[in-house]
Structure 1
């Protein structure tokens, strides 16, 4: 059955009268045209533009589409143009007139579905190729003659917009906690009766029952009555809730190197427990976050098993175990940096990760003997004490020469993290480091042992490019220097917030506040690399790297015992792949153990461009200092991957 009184071309399907229709037809073919993206010759997402063979190119038929509405409605016209293949793919001429005809026939279905989505069930779509209606074109016959690009005329009479009148839910069961009011699911009298609204409401009704343990709950039929005399729609949902279900013993499919028993333990689905779709979704998410799978899907049985439980199958597709890559950053105040890394995602079958990396920094910021070098090996073992835990171990060696000090060090860190909820996690570890540091206060050797502690709250919707949510972090580390016999406590706290100010998430307000403090030992007894410095990328853009904070009388940077930092950004998405940012950073580092706000704050302002990719935005920022000091540039340029915070 179809939706009533819709016409393709000029042929009505059914009389414009009362029609009972199935909703499935309303959703056919309605999807905006996908966009493709390639970077350095590699296809990253979207529908890849199809290359024509030389023979096809010779037969290609360039055309010029023109979509018009019989009424003034720019919003609807834009929606139709986004849905239309003829419009969105006009720069991809089809290989021959028959291919153009096929595209036009398909496009008519897409446009009809787009009208359904806008609640218009009495519209017409006429398409003519070089003046000839597509219903009159004979496939394989002579193409309509044309000089130059073939004109394709698309004329849409959208017809009236239908609204909801009566709606009801007919269920084979009842539950006092589940509403049977269609308005609670989006079907409200007098509102636009869009096809997607009708579909989504049925899905929400079934989901409500599933959340109560009815795994097999389904809407068997959506009964639609469209009255063309009043331009209204009545909807009746016929629901079969099914019995309350409990989990059967899950099985695993698709694993290659992964241990299936580990997958089951990490999914943490308890056989016999009452069905909960949110619990299964969290299990899928946990398995994806291991980083070892390309795909994870927990498939539910379509009926209960002989023992009355719901069969579950965890289907996985493993990624390549080994990977390698490189990273590049640049700033005119810090020079360039190049990083190379190699990794393994699944060493022993339990998603154990190994990563080896090396980095050279301060390229172009001085002589070659002043370069920074570092290497690090990191091992991680998830699920050590259950799926919420992860063990990590790291060894490192580093030689760095920022303006404030020269440091050569080696050390190791082990730690354990625990995830209390999706938002809250904590970590604890043990650290040992041997170093030699020369700075404005002299040359010192250190043998440090410490216990790093951390607590994080993260509700961001996207870790790479957030549009809403918060990130709060508290990090503390008690340290003891065996060489100098000094103890100290270092702590840092930060809060970042993100808020979209429009429904399309094209305008984002982002802000960050951070403070740090060092207690216990005096400034001269705290290793220079553990003191606080601001200035440069990641802190106050526009100023010299680490140049904001305490200096000696000779102008040498010595760092502070505390700091305060605040940043604000307005992020705008100009297109699907290009964004712009305006920002301001302010703060200072202080000799005192707590921020001293009687001292002036240093402020930098600037703007930047973002190139949006699946691995995070590529960032280019330019900033100027508003209170330039000795050692600060006239402006700063920063290039990197990811948002600044």
Structure 2
């Protein structure tokens, strides 16, 4: 007997003694344990009748997994408050509970178990019980309902069998079932094994594989015999894929992106990778992939990607606040498909340190433009041009600059990317009353690793980056190289994304030039939001003659933060940050500054809104007593 993957409920009567081999439907065994009965499903409910209050006493079987399954399967418990019933509805619900308990027992491997339900001390099938309950009238005491379960012995698995049609199909392509003889005969592992086998067949190039199963309970041996019935179907290669739905995007670009699928062995992973490639262009809101339901005349599998384009233009705003550094506001406008090749033109502006001195003398800002061209001369390769004019007025220095840059980025894998490109800068920098003009030529190289579950609010995984930036100063005729490595990791401590431990570390060094040969704005600084909270922005490290931050040639930072969800979108955070900046290129820990604090989080669709307050634990003269930081997104 062959059962297809879609299972139908089947009522089976099992005796308590004797030998019987019966095919059992796992869907029915798992149904009640997997989800509560839908509201309104009970036919006896009558909204016009007053509800009869009742309480439910669930059994404790000594098997916590079974107790959970019983609780989820019980319609009496799940519908008690959501769907009130009258006396007749309560009795009807109690009579139907036997099937729910049977499914819960079988879902955990108890095939000879039994259950009993009493309502107000009487069996649910007692004649006249509903009339007696209705005659009680209104009462402050709910009707007691007691569910009793005798679980019996837990069955175990017999050796699991795989049978193929046609016979002789290599079983190695189906992978391991993950089921072992003697393990408890629970329903969910069997369903999981079927899913793994089906996925293995599809990954091996069989898009039309059919997989059924036969399950037999032997009451003499207390064994469950499971046989998977496999019809693999043909092994398929992709035909030339097509893309439909584009309006402004050039069809030749899309054809070039999906063309590598042609001739490849069918694989769901390859389909998803191509779909993600199309999404990464940034011009499509959705991309759907659909494989044909039969092979074409050449014996290949047709494949179509349907795209829906996003609006052509977008506008965005941002804001942040930090004590002493003041508020920052930013805005951008972008064109998402400038020439039809998914080129993105972005114009952006930022104003910072607003009102920190009562006038605009310390106000800084930026006006810039960037042009991003995806799939530039290769797969998953992006070229970005940047141009910007900057005015910076932190406590450490004054800087007015004009910058040009280009960056060629390539995605090596879903987690790993790298990029490099030239930089040109013309700037005027003033520190400690001394003004210097710089003409700089640089080459930026970067390597990034990202393996987190959510880029805006990660709960597990790791992020890391490495930056190598050699720079030639034409006025000083010297070369120096900025090196910076950063990593962060996230631990879901309880497995429910409610308690997250986040750890961050940074190390940096500038080599190749003396301290005075490195422009002040290219040195390392520490302190402030996203760095060492509690300290003024850029305040950690060497000082100038007038006690302003001077920056250094080495940097070490570390942070540890516990993020705790409290209720709904609200959460709290507790953190400790530390950092050190020195004039020597070799990092050291002789003068580490430590800050600690608490934060409030409110989760939104674009990431958490963050408000932190921190204090310096070993502050020096001139350091603030505390710092307040407000922004969007986690600190790291």
TM-score by length of 2: 0.81
Choose the corresponding residue for 1:605, options 596, 600, 625.
Answer: 596
| C-alpha spacing 1:65/1:480, structure 2 compared with 1 (3 Å) | farther
SS at 1:472 equivalent? strand
CA distance in 1, matches of 2:115, 2:562: 44
CA distance in 1, matches of 2:350, 2:116: 60
| C-alpha spacing 1:60/1:424, structure 2 compared with 1 (3 Å) | farther
1:21 paired with 2:19, answer no
CA distance in 2, matches of 1:145, 1:316: 62
Name stretches of at least 5 consecutive residues in structure 2 with no aligned partner: 1-6, 37-46
Partner of 1:419: 411
> Displacement, 1:95?
11
1:311 paired with 2:311, answer no
CA distance in 1, matches of 2:302, 2:191: 27
SS at 2:235 equivalent? coil
CA contact (8 A) 2:484 2:507 kept: yes
Partner of 1:208: 200
| C-alpha spacing 1:418/1:590, structure 2 compared with 1 (3 Å) | same
The 5 A counterparts of 1:250-269 are: 250-269=241-260
CA distance in 2, matches of 1:371, 1:90: 63
CA distance in 2, matches of 1:402, 1:337: 13
CA distance in 1, matches of 2:157, 2:381: 50
CA contact (8 A) 2:595 2:615 kept: yes
Partner of 1:399: 391
| C-alpha spacing 1:94/1:332, structure 2 compared with 1 (3 Å) | farther
SS at 1:451 equivalent? strand
Choose the corresponding residue for 1:332, options 323, 333, 337.
Answer: 323
CA contact (8 A) 1:59 1:96 kept: no
> Displacement, 1:414?
1.6
Choose the corresponding residue for 1:70, options 38, 59, 73.
Answer: 59
Partner of 1:42: none
Name stretches of at least 5 consecutive residues in structure 1 with no aligned partner: 7-12, 34-57
Partner of 1:450: 442
CA distance in 1, matches of 2:103, 2:338: 49
Choose the corresponding residue for 1:295, options 273, 286, 290.
Answer: 286
CA displacement 1:37-57 (0-9 Å, x = unmatched): xxxxxxxxxxxxxxxxxxxxx
CA distance in 2, matches of 1:82, 1:530: 61
CA distance in 1, matches of 2:311, 2:499: 37
The 5 A counterparts of 1:189-588 are: 189-219=181-211, 221-227=212-218, 232-363=223-354, 365-369=356-360, 370-440=362-432, 442-574=434-566, 577-588=569-580
CA contact (8 A) 1:343 1:354 kept: yes
CA distance in 2, matches of 1:280, 1:515: 39
CA distance in 2, matches of 1:86, 1:612: 35
Partner of 1:55: none
Choose the corresponding residue for 1:168, options 161, 166, 178.
Answer: 161
CA contact (8 A) 1:3 1:21 kept: no
| C-alpha spacing 1:353/1:28, structure 2 compared with 1 (3 Å) | farther
CA distance in 1, matches of 2:366, 2:625: 30
Partner of 1:46: none
CA contact (8 A) 1:383 1:389 kept: yes
| C-alpha spacing 1:613/1:171, structure 2 compared with 1 (3 Å) | farther
CA distance in 1, matches of 2:100, 2:404: 60
CA distance in 1, matches of 2:32, 2:244: 32
CA distance in 1, matches of 2:573, 2:560: 10
1:178 paired with 2:175, answer no
CA displacement 1:339-374 (0-9 Å, x = unmatched): 223333333433322333322223464324133322
CA contact (8 A) 1:178 1:208 kept: no
CA distance in 2, matches of 1:85, 1:293: 44
Would you say how many aligned residue pairs link Structure 1 and Structure 2?
A: 606
CA displacement 1:565-594 (0-9 Å, x = unmatched): 122234444556444433322221111122
SS at 1:207 equivalent? helix
SS at 2:546 equivalent? coil
CA distance in 2, matches of 1:245, 1:316: 24
TM-score by length of 1: 0.80
SS at 1:532 equivalent? coil
> Displacement, 1:237?
0.6
Partner of 2:40: none
> Displacement, 1:532?
0.8
CA displacement 1:367-393 (0-9 Å, x = unmatched): 241333223322211111222201112
CA distance in 2, matches of 1:379, 1:434: 21
Greater mean alpha carbon deviation, residues 170-179 or residues 375-384: 170-179
| C-alpha spacing 1:90/1:434, structure 2 compared with 1 (3 Å) | farther
| C-alpha spacing 1:152/1:231, structure 2 compared with 1 (3 Å) | farther
CA distance in 2, matches of 1:23, 1:467: 34
CA distance in 2, matches of 1:401, 1:614: 33
| C-alpha spacing 1:406/1:509, structure 2 compared with 1 (3 Å) | same
> Displacement, 1:435?
2.4
> Displacement, 1:559?
0.9
SS at 2:452 equivalent? coil
| C-alpha spacing 1:338/1:32, structure 2 compared with 1 (3 Å) | farther
CA contact (8 A) 1:395 1:412 kept: yes
CA contact (8 A) 2:556 2:579 kept: yes
Partner of 2:42: none
Who wins on radius of gyration, i.e. which is larger? 2
SS at 1:529 equivalent? helix
RMSD: 4.2
CA displacement 1:505-551 (0-9 Å, x = unmatched): 54444322222122344434433221111011111111111110110
CA displacement 1:388-438 (0-9 Å, x = unmatched): 201112222222221112222232222110122222221111222232222
